[in-house]
Amino acid sequence: MSQFSENSFVQECLRESAQCIGCGTCLTSCPVYAQEAREELTARGRNRHILALLEGYGDAAEVVGKCLLCGRCTMVCPRGIRNDLIVAGLRGLMVQRDGLPFAKSVAFRRLLSDRKLMGRALRFAAAAQRLMPSEDGVGIGNLCDPPRPTVRHLPLFFSALGRGRRLPAVASDFLSERLPEENPASGVTGKKLRVAYFAGCATEFVLPRTGEAVVRVLTEAGMDVVFPHAQGCCGLAAHANGDVETAAAMARHNLDVLEHTNADLIVTSCATCGTALRDIWPRLALTDDERRRFVTLAGKTHDVSELILSAATPGVFSCYSNLPRGATITWHEPCHLGRHQHVSREPLTILRRTFGSAFHELREAGCCGFGGSFNLYHYGMSQKIGLHKADNIREAGADYVVTSCPGCLIQIMDLMAQHGIPGRVIHLAEAISFRA
Ligand code: SF4
Ligand code: SF4
């Protein structure tokens, strides 16, 4: 233990895991335990063997790798133990000790750290997509009409995206090429809220229509929206994979960019990015001043559903369906929205009041099984966990599955295609319009 005792990852892991009383409540909520029934893959199992894991005994890579960071164990834990921080800390320690695998190093330190380079790499992928045969089936909102093929052959880190997955097409025009930086409120005079939009990589490169819908609905709701083109990756993927240094550099860059907008509030439409801004970035600060700036920014950050609901005049509900007449919907709550940001009431309120009886709620609010890199490296289990979600969606029988996280959106689109479930998957902002 002595060689690691001064390590900040170790300190954080030990502090959190020391709270564990071994009650086992977390086992019943863990989607991975439901599949494999192995104690060592649960929060209690990791906490019991934390010292051995820190020392590198046992199959630490598997035990630390097989976690969705979904936060379900924290939700039920009587001590509120942040298993996601323990797992990220352990992964960080492994990176410090063994270095970052080459593919991840290219992905985080070269591509995701450089939007222009990432854009060029994805354009290359998009060209490759066009050479592949088209497939029928589930489209992603209005984004893939006609449906595009899956990506099967991509280099390095992206190769894990193949294996027959159904993926949305890389956008022909990225969001920053479609949207100006300044987007004034429509039809509103007087003092308006100035909101900075942090879109995230998936919305920038793959789902730009989500970004356009977010800006449309916020400007309809009377807000001036600034969309700074200099923003970059939120860094959560790097953080979750133990590359804390890269995550911190990304957070610092975005902090400067977002502060420079002089916005009253920050809005996110990606639940994962929202979690990064609100929960992870302040933990990456190196100085007290930096921590104060991150905490201030976190306090100003909201999910788009929170801003839409707050914009409604009290007693007058202002949201309307943006979908074809008679369309039915259901809602998937992303773990990063409900568990990590505690935003559950707002999207449900908007959808229940906007769609009434056309809103077919899912019987269970389970995890979709995506989990970021979990989906890349444990695709079989990711699909098995998602099977429950797919069954729920089939049972709901809605025309549209509405969600608020590009990762969930891509996973559910894949699940629906794999299981032959008809329907489309869209972001909440695409489903509604706002009329004051
Ligand atoms: S975060 Fe999710 S997958 Fe990981 S141990 Fe907790 S419940 Fe299981
Ligand atoms: S629920 Fe919390 S306290 Fe109980 S065993 Fe799991 S991590 Fe430990």
pLDDT digits 0-9 by tens, 349-395: 999 999 999 999 999 888 999 988 888 888 888 999 999 999 999 99
In the three-class reduction of DSSP (H, G, I as helix; E, B as strand; rest coil), residue 289 is classed as: helix
pLDDT digits 0-9 by tens, 299-345: 999 999 999 998 877 666 788 999 999 999 999 999 999 999 999 99
- 425: β partners: 401
Residues with CB under 6 A from ligand 1: 29-32, 42-43, 67-73, 83-84
pLDDT at 255 > cutoff 70: yes
Supply the pLDDT for residue 149. 45
Which of 28-37, 91-100, 202-211, 408-417 is predicted least confidently? 91-100
Which of 90-99, 234-243, 360-369 is predicted least confidently? 90-99
Supply the pLDDT for residue 194. 96
With cut-offs at 50, 70 and 90, classify the pLDDT of residue 4: very low
What DSSP designation does 111 have?
A: I
The residue ranking higher by pLDDT, 63 or 432, is 432
With cut-offs at 50, 70 and 90, classify the pLDDT of residue 211: very high
Supply the pLDDT for residue 6. 53
Dihedral sign from CA coordinates of 97, 49, 285, 247: positive
Q: Which atom of ligand 1 is nearest to the CA of 367?
A: 2
What mean pLDDT comes out for the span 86-111?
A: 87
What DSSP designation does 183 have?
A: E
Give me the domains of the chain, ranges plus CATH numbers. 2-98 (1.10.1060.10), 316-434 (3.40.50.1860)
74 CB within 6 A, ligand 2:
no
Supply the pLDDT for residue 131. 63
In the three-class reduction of DSSP (H, G, I as helix; E, B as strand; rest coil), residue 312 is classed as: coil
What mean pLDDT comes out for the span 62-85?
A: 91
User: Which amino acid residue places its CA nearest to atom 8 of ligand 1?
Assistant: 30
Supply the pLDDT for residue 192. 84
As a whole number of angstroms, the distance between CA 416 and CA 314 comes to: 38
pLDDT at 166 > cutoff 60: yes
Place of tokens 């891509």: 410
The residue ranking higher by pLDDT, 85 or 61, is 85
Q: Tell me, in angstroms, the distance from the centre of ligand 1 to residue 343's CA.
A: 19
47 CB within 6 A, ligand 2:
yes
Please report which residue ranges of 172-234 form alpha helices under DSSP H. Answer: 175-178, 201-205, 208-220
What mean pLDDT comes out for the span 96-125?
A: 88
> pTM for the complete prediction?
0.89
As a whole number of angstroms, the distance between CA 280 and CA 356 comes to: 36
With cut-offs at 50, 70 and 90, classify the pLDDT of residue 159: very low
